[in-house]
Amino acid sequence: MALDDVKIKQLQDTANRLRILSIEATNAAKSGHPTSCASMAEVMSVLFFNTLRYSTKEPKHPSNDRFVLSKGHAAPILYATWAEAGLFPPEEVLNLRKLDSDLEGHPTPRLNFVDVATGSLGQGLSVSAGMAYVGKYVDKCDYRVYCLIGDGESAEGSIWEAMSFSSHYKLNNLCAIFDVNRLGQSEPTALGHKIETYEKRIQAFGFETFVVNGHDVKQVADAFAKASRVTDKPQAIIACTLKGKGFPGIEDRENWHGKPLGDKAKDVVNALKEQLHSANRIPHQLQSPVCKAPNVDLKAVKLSEPPNFKLGDKIATRQAYGDALVKLGRVNDRVYAMDGDTKNSTFSETYKKAFPDRYIECFIAEQNLVGVGIGFGCRARTIPFVSTFACFLSRAFDQLRMGAISQANIKCVGSHCGVSIGEDGPSQMALEDIAMFRTIPGCTVFYPCDAVSTERAVELAAQHHGIDFIRTSRPATPVIYSNDTVFEIGKAKIVKSSGADQCLVIGAGITLHEAIKAADALKTQHGVSIRVMDPFTIKPIDRDAIISNAAECGNRIVVVEDHYPEGGIGEAVAGALADQVNIRIKKLAVHEVPRSGPPDVLVDKYGIGSRSIIAAVHELLA
Ligand SMILES: Cc1ncc(C[n+]2csc(CCOP(=O)(O)OP(=O)(O)O)c2C)c(N)n1
Ligand SMILES: *[C@@H]1O[C@H](CO)[C@@H](O)[C@H](O)[C@H]1NC(C)=O
Ligand SMILES: *[C@@H]1O[C@H](CO)[C@@H](O)[C@H](O)[C@H]1NC(C)=O
């Protein structure tokens, strides 16, 4: 909107009102980041009261423009802005950081105006890029996505991964704002106020740039207006600002990061009040959304046809993943796949071949891959499946950890788990992934062992809201379940049993097949019967089934896994049974950094093959 003098004064007043609220909130909380808020006050005022098109009544309406505060520590000014927009009374911000308030130290989606949790720096732009991709290519709706980034924060590599992605996909509906206030937490940023260096770097990454004095509302508003007219590129507003702007004696000074103003607050607030043209809250006319995002139904998702395999057919679970995703895609056109240049290994390529428009290549940038996936899940627009080698998902652990706080809906599929990948060697083997995903609150960890259970794992993950991990294997494994087998999250399957079992062996994926081999050998060569359990999900683990089956097997358990011992299946089982007095557990896992070699040789050498299982059973029986 073109700004007249009245509106300019109003926006400047609003900026100062936001500063005052940020000071008061952080003083009430006795903690927080008022100076980080002050540098971005004009940007927030212009964005929310001149630029953004949204409905305050429905802050997360799918047609609204989106705003992501990547520098989440500036939460007080985000809260103050929504209060100023009329979502809740301004006094409410004084509850900042109180245990019973949703106005937490950093924003989370407990608040109805927050899409994703921020506060671990460097993540907001990937999520914003995911949302912008959905707006442009999936919803095909003209909402825009704005992401505010700190200059210190912009040292994070994930910011630049997101920038490469955004320009590659010509996300002209995405606008990044860099708040270049010169200072970080403990010292000045590396680039200080070298605005030209920011500009060159950001341009080199394919963004249209607009350099502004971030405290001049007219310049800021003009830049946003120009940015919204760019048709082929994402845009960046590079705002030259001062940390603590408008706080006499504090502005642009070091040692004020993350500190409330304490007894200095009164004078600072008075100084800010003196600058107000009007003492009253300003009745801004807000802009409404200009497009109508389509209605979508993510609940209507299932396999288009049931599994269709013959018992004994050999198919890798990673391959079954690709086929299963195509079956989901036939039923629901909001199923999307993303990968980090491993699609012909993870078999997400199968999905790309079936639905080229519903596959997004994210290239070799796994933090951004996961961030984009989380963005795809926001506002329930799509069901994102993100795949790469399971070991490389560990690069995005922080994104996943934040994903839990974000209440994200994202399906991660990690192939090439364990030593059973063989010759490529340890750098490509995921041996920590179960531990990693188990630690994420609410995450479901699927570990299917054949094509039938993989198809059902993919279906269950799509139907479940939250973070899910499906661990797939590289080698082909025989189908052991009939087409009509019913699987449930947290329900194990007994795949071999007799009335005279002396030990319960729990294996998953590759090691389930090793357990079956061991059971056959123990029976024929030693006359020993064992029961074999497939947990299907490692989290939640089927505690009841483990306890009841162990009781029928002399309370002896062997757990065998293609993973390091820490945090794996053995510890999941041991943890579930911690209060059981009479059960003995032997855990087989990979105990050292493995080498390259043929899969079978490695499985045997590292003590997780049938030979080791047989020995472990004998030890427990001795
Ligand atoms: C990944 C990560 N590392 C470190 C921190 C701790 N931290 C919080 S704010 C901050 C400084 C941020 O500086 P900048 O991005 O310039 O924001 P400003 O407050 O100056 O606007 C740091 C180091 C964090 N929150 N996240
Ligand atoms: C993936 O595709 C490339 C290019 O066609 C090929 O060179 C490579 O061997 C393939 N990888 C796998 C695991 O099939
Ligand atoms: C599964 O379906 C296929 C194809 O219809 C059929 O050949 C196979 O026998 C079925 N298997 C089972 C165990 O029902």
Q: Is the CB of 344 under 6 A from ligand 2?
A: yes
CA 361 to CA 141: how far, in whole Å? 22
**Where does the pLDDT of residue 220 fall: very low under 50, low under 70, confident under 90, or very high at 90 and above?**
very high
Is 95's pLDDT higher than 70?
Answer: yes
Q: 106 vs 51, 101, 162, 393, 605, CA distance in Å?
A: 24, 12, 22, 25, 48
3-state secondary structure 512-544: HHHHHHHHHHHHHHHCCCCEEEECCEEECCCHH
Which residue type is seen at 453? S
Q: Is the CB of 311 under 6 A from ligand 3?
A: yes
**Where does the pLDDT of residue 490 fall: very low under 50, low under 70, confident under 90, or very high at 90 and above?**
very high
Q: Is the CB of 319 under 6 A from ligand 2?
A: no
Distance of CA 128 to the CA centre of its chain: 12
The architecture of the domain spanning 493-621 is: 3-Layer(aba) Sandwich (3.40)
pLDDT tens profile 527-550: 999 999 999 999 999 999 999 999
Q: How far is the CA of 311 from the centre of ligand 3 (A)?
A: 8
Q: Is the CB of 384 under 6 A from ligand 1?
A: no
CA 14 to CA 281: how far, in whole Å? 8
CA 469 to CA 446: how far, in whole Å? 6
Q: How far is the CA of 345 from the centre of ligand 2 (A)?
A: 8
CA 478 to CA 485: how far, in whole Å? 15
CA 396 to CA 399: how far, in whole Å? 5
Q: 56 vs 287, 305, 379, CA distance in Å?
A: 10, 43, 16
Q: How far is the CA of 298 from the centre of ligand 2 (A)?
A: 33
Q: Which atom of ligand 1 is nearest to the CA of 150?
A: 15
Average pLDDT over residues 99-115: 98
**338 in helix, strand or coil?**
strand
Contact 574, 547 (CB under 8 A): no
Q: Is the CB of 308 under 6 A from ligand 3?
A: yes
Average pLDDT over residues 409-418: 98
Which pLDDT value is given to residue 308?
A: 97
Same fold, 5-275 and 313-479: yes
The architecture of the domain spanning 5-275 is: 3-Layer(aba) Sandwich (3.40)
Instruction: Calculate Rg over the CA atoms of the chain.
Output: 28
CA 54 to CA 289: how far, in whole Å? 5
CA 607 to CA 589: how far, in whole Å? 7
Contact 234, 167 (CB under 8 A): yes
Mean pLDDT over all residues of the chain? 97
Which pLDDT value is given to residue 1?
A: 56
In which region does residue 446 sit, left (phi positive, over 0), alpha (psi from -120 to 50) or beta (all else)? beta
- Nearest alpha carbon to residue 143 among 55, 209, 210: 55
pLDDT tens profile 304-353: 999 999 999 999 999 999 999 999 999 999 999 999 999 999 999 999 99
Which of 339, 343, 344 maximizes ligand 2 atoms within 8 Å of its Cβ, making it the mutation to test the pocket? Answer: 344
* Matching residue, tokens 């985000």: 78
pLDDT tens profile 146-200: 999 999 999 999 999 999 999 999 999 999 999 999 999 999 999 999 999 999 9
| Residue ranges covered by each domain of the chain | 5-275, 313-479, 493-621
Q: 463 vs 58, 301, 466, 489, CA distance in Å?
A: 26, 6, 10, 11
Is 511's pLDDT higher than 70?
Answer: yes
Which pLDDT value is given to residue 283?
A: 85
Which pLDDT value is given to residue 282?
A: 87
Q: Which atom of ligand 2 is nearest to the CA of 345?
A: 13
The share of the chain scoring above pLDDT 90, in percent, equals 98
Q: How far is the CA of 529 from the centre of ligand 3 (A)?
A: 29
The architecture of the domain spanning 313-479 is: 3-Layer(aba) Sandwich (3.40)
Is 248's pLDDT higher than 70?
Answer: yes
